[in-house]
Structure 1
């Protein structure tokens, strides 16, 4: 991606975040393109240059968020890390990103409420792509005898469910900041998976 393309992508991402804030405030159905244009300090015609309509804006927001999630996990998987540390880092980054982009993820928690046809199919494909990465990590950990043999689909859904639910109860005024919270949750979730023999070998338990 060229510098110009990166700047354009950054501007569009900032527009999406700002637009989502007004949609969150007024509600999806009550928000108009005029409201969005006013929030962005743009003419309605300029907003239509970037988004066909409110539905397209919401779709592009979900596509942006999920694509970044996939990029995050692919970058971590490419690192030379122990499989348990790799999964821990994936969890921490996932939770931090959820909290950072809380509004967008909250609106996309039930995509069938807003999308249908090709849009819904596209969102679900991105979700499946991310889930496949988690499945692969779990399988690798089991193969390396680091993780306990588990039903991968069930455990993946437990992990994703626990992480994604954070946006429902996280408070920025809480005792822990988002990184501390993400690390704590990751540590708890890893206890489901890591074998005691591996913990002993690494001095995690005695």
Structure 2
């Protein structure tokens, strides 16, 4: 079986054809629990902080694969005389069972590299404490994240580092997240 590098074809892998123990090992990806999100909101409200929201565009395409994964050439795009060739993937694709885990590993590594601490009891909650006790709190739900903190310059640095590393949608102040509507104003934070 010959392997060619994937050029510029948009592919979605047929993850339903993968078999445990052969094509993938771990597919579980941690996501923020609702009680964690409520604690972050409550903590920000008690301290009079604003909560911001970011969305990572094409998050699953950022993940680096640990296993060797091959995909067939897309129907209609096969090379004449080379129809039996396959592509070896170097990065995750939508549809791969290991894409969510690969993405989580990549963003977790970025947070750790930026000096954040991950909690063992809540793998999607990251905090970074700076000088004078300043803190940034980040909660991750797959490709959506909310963050708050008590130092605007540290918050700006966090947002900029995320935008430099990943293509992001800056959603501004959190207003809707995981089915929770949030109103942030001069009188505080209210959940609807």
TM-score, scaled relative to structure 2? 0.27
Structure number with higher helix proportion: 1
Q: TM-score, normalised by structure 1?
A: 0.26
Larger strand percent: 2
* Structure with bigger RCO (C-alpha 8 Å, 6+ apart): 2
